[in-house]
Amino acid sequence: MQQHILRNKNKIVLISGVLIVLGFLSKRTVSNLALFEGALITASAFGVAPIAIQAYQALRVKVVSIDVLVTIAVVGAFLIRNYEEAAIVTFLFLFGAFLEQRTLNKTRSAIKELTEMAPESAFKQREDGEFVEVEVDEVDVGDVLLVKTGAKVPVDGHVIAGEGSVNEASITGESIPVAKEKGSKVYAGTILDNGTIQIVADRVGEDTTFGKIIELVEEAQDSKSEAERFIDRFAKYYTPAVLVLSFIVWLFSRHLELAITILVLGCPGALVIGVPVSNVAGIGNGARHGVLLKGSEVVSDFSRLQTMVFDKTGTLTVGKPTVAETAYYGDNIDEALGYLASVERESDHPLAKAVLEAIGETQYATVEETEVVKGGGIVARVNGHRIAVGNVALMEREKVELSEKARADVARFEKNGNSLVLTAVDGKLKVLLGVRDQIRPGVKEDLRKLERLGVKNLVMLSGDNQGTVDVVSRELGLTEARGNMLPEDKAAYIEHLIKEKGQVVAFVGDGVNDSPSLALANIGIAMGGGTDVAIETSDVVLMNSDFSRLPHALGLTKAIARNMKQNIFIAVGVVFVLLASLIFSDWMNMSIGMLVHEGSILAVILNGMRLLRYRLR
């Protein structure tokens, strides 16, 4: 029966609310007191049932919870026939708990999605040299595997034959595929975009990098238990004090009504609903402004934030490489751009796509005698001209002379964190393009807002090379930036900040590879346009990947924390005033006490509702 009642708490809230409304309508419209009291008594009985069960369960483990507080209040209200108090307190308490739980129910379901992304099969080489498809669990260290275009790499290993381009976004979070050749390392869960490679398995199963990502998320979620609500900690001492005071008054005065009055006045609805009202109003404000705060537990840590750590790609940057800088040399540039576009159209590399987008509409020509130069680029013949497209090494191989200006441009482009695309026509340099991932518009201003809100350290962690990371860091004015970091490196860094330095840390990311750090951080913040795993592992979600919502989210949680403290102060202050007046004066009675009591409930509700209008100044 207990489990049935607890499972149907939401239905009980609805029934209780309807009965309260019907009761007050009957009193106002037809002045039917019997119907009024009957509806409120029924609403109270329905509402107190799950609360009393939870109070009993708490007392069994020697915990005086807020449920005990509410149960005593309702029983006391019944004893003095104050059915309005009993019905309203139970309804508001259950409704506040429902709104908070509804937000929390969307979290902590990331493990299943992570495991579904893991590779399931592999092509394993038999003794006769043939490759057969087997379950990934059948692969052992030292086995030779074949990976074809579009397939997931099944294990961590190194390439022994073939070449290809691997999308490592699931591991490093970086959008640009990485060229692989003999001797290159590959990771389980990454995808071979083009080419065919043979690899030797170095790590398999749970020992792979992807397996460790899953393990880190599981461990972090297991260790991240729900924080005990402040009001429960307060009630742990406050409730027994009120009970003892009420019993002492009855013991010495033998005045049961006075003792019950103390018990009721000492258990204000304002204390019960003050914190939930602040949380619900704050969560509602966040939802309207593109910020999903997953429950009241988030607010305390977020409002005390000291260090904010960011992933780079897709968080501080757009996550899509584009042409950022251009330089042209000599004449007939439009013709050279047409040749470049014709050659790049033959490639599916992300840099080629970025170049084509930058050139736009042009005159394409037939590409012949295409030669892919390993680690350099492409050489082809277009309209009788020899076209070389690639890096500086390819230009040197083709004996393309770079002028002083061109060399200066190359150095400047590289310093700015660009990947270079040079184009030569018949041995003459014509075009230099710098391709890089662009910083999100407005991010720099948003970071300054975070600093004004009290964030002391702004740190960036990235799987990209240190040079590119340093360029972004300088432009954004970050406190620290670290490159060449795998997911386990990021997670270890977060753990170091929290456990060894004692900092309150938030991590902002958007990829599967960010999940361990999101789960380990005090506050995990996911970009809403990222993966479902990152979103569900996090505590805060910025919907539509709108980075500008981050300062609003931080400012909002600080406002919620202040508002909760104000409501607690109002609730407790009113209780002390009521109890003091009851004991030390003659003018305090039940009617006045209830009037003030209801006024305090109205005060905390109105104070909490102010959060609905909160905007970051």
Q: In what order do the strands lie in the sheet with 428-439?
A: 317-328, 428-439, 419-425, 385-390, 377-382, 367-373
**Cα 145 from Cα 324, distance rounded (Å):** 39
The count of other CB atoms within 10 Å of the CB of residue 525 is 29
Q: Which two tokens stand for residue 486?
A: 């795998």
Q: Which residues pair with 434 in a beta bridge?
A: 325, 420
If we measure between CA atoms, which residue out of 188, 129, 127 comes closest to residue 158? 188
Q: Is 332 helix (H, G, I), strand (E, B) or coil?
A: coil
> How many Cβ atoms sit within 10 Å of the Cβ of residue 63?
15
Let me know: does 443 contact 153? Beta carbons within 8 Å.
no
Residues 517 and 236: their CA atoms lie apart, in Å, by: 34
Residue 311 is among the residues annotated as catalytic for this protein: yes
At residue 317, the 3 state secondary structure works out as: strand
HEC sequence for 24-70: HHHHHHCCCHHHHHHHHHHHHHHHHHHHHHHHHHHHHCCCCCHHHHH
Strand, coil or helix: 544: helix
Of 301, 311, 437, 464, the active-site residue reads 311
Who's near 172: CB < 8 A, 6+ residues apart? Answer: 463, 464, 486, 513
Query: What does the chain come to in residues?
Result: 617
Radius of gyration over every alpha carbon of the chain, rounded to an integer in angstroms: 33
Helix (H) or strand (E) holding 580: helix 549-584
H helix or E strand, kind and range, residue 360: none
Encode burial over 3-28: b for 16+ CB neighbours within 10 A, e otherwise: eebeeebeebbbbbbebbebbeebbe
Beta strands 307-311 and 457-461, pairing class:
parallel
- List the one residue out of 539, 534, 501 whose CA is nearest residue 523: 539
Distance CA 436, CA 424 (A): 21
Strand intervals (E) in 272-397: 291-293, 307-311, 317-328, 367-373, 377-382, 385-390
Determine the Cα angle at 305 with ends 303 and 307, to 5°: 165
Distance CA 248, CA 147 (A): 79
Look up tokens 């809403």; give the residue.
528
Cα gap 540→553, rounded to integer Å:
8
CA distances from 505 to 455, 473, 502 (A): 10, 19, 9
Residue holding tokens 């209040």?
A: 73
* Residues 102, 554: Cα–Cα separation, whole Å: 22
The residues that are catalytic are 311
